[in-house]
Structure 1
Amino acid sequence: MSGEKQDFFDNPNNIRNMLRVFYVICALLFAADFVVHRHTEFRFEGLPGFYPIYGFVGCVILVFAAKWMRTFLMRPEDYYDKRELTDFNSDDGDTPSHEDSNTPVSGGHQRV
């Protein structure tokens, strides 16, 4: 086990250091929001911290929308394993019949 190569993300110290760097970058960007003058279209865009709050609220809305859409878009685990609409050869029953059609067979090549 000691002979295995350890990847960068396998070391918890690397992850901790990366998170610290990301937090510092976020804090610097938020602090720059008070210093940098922006040419805004609307008055509320000029409020300090508007864009971080706007982005966070947008992400939260996307997560809730995805959870709601999951209720009617989710398919069963074996959805693509079902073979009820596939035409099978009579000899072995496991391979689809493509002799009479010009549809591409695996790899994008057509059977001649």
Structure 2
Amino acid sequence: MADQHEPRDFFDKPENIEKMLKVFYVICGLLVVADFIVHRHIYHDWENIPAFYAIYGFVGCSLLVFVAKWMRTFLMRKEDYYDE
């Protein structure tokens, strides 16, 4: 049973998580805006698409999550796998 007088950490407080998410979203927005300002040396024509790297990163991470969920169906073992 957890001690009621245990000190709360930074990540235990929901208001701190909300603040961190807001900072994260602002940073993401600033990086997308910077994509329009900073000159890039491109090698392929599709890199001219506005916010290409933000879209590319989002699609890549989403694809990674969906592939991992699919792989879980045949890689996951029972909880007592090593106790048998």
User: TM-score scaled by structure 2?
Assistant: 0.86
1:28-67 superposed Cα distances (whole Å, 9 cap, x missing partner) = 0010011011001101112221011111111111112112
Name the structure where helix makes up a greater proportion of residues. 2
What is the total number of aligned residue pairs between the two structures? Answer: 81
Q: CA RMSD in A?
A: 1.3
Indicate which of 9, 12, 19 corresponds to 1:10.
Answer: 12
Partner of 1:43: 45
Q: Percent identity?
A: 67
Task: Tell me, yes or no, if structure 1 residue 72 matches structure 2 residue 74.
Answer: yes
In 2, the alpha carbon distance for the partners of 1:13 and 1:69 equals 35
Matched AA of 1:21: V
Give ranges in structure 2 of 5+ residues lacking alignment.
none
| Dislocated runs of 4+, deviation >3 Å | none
Q: TM-score, normalised by structure 1?
A: 0.66
CA shift for structure 1 position 68? 1.6
Query: 1:91-106 to 2 correspondence within 5 Å?
Result: none
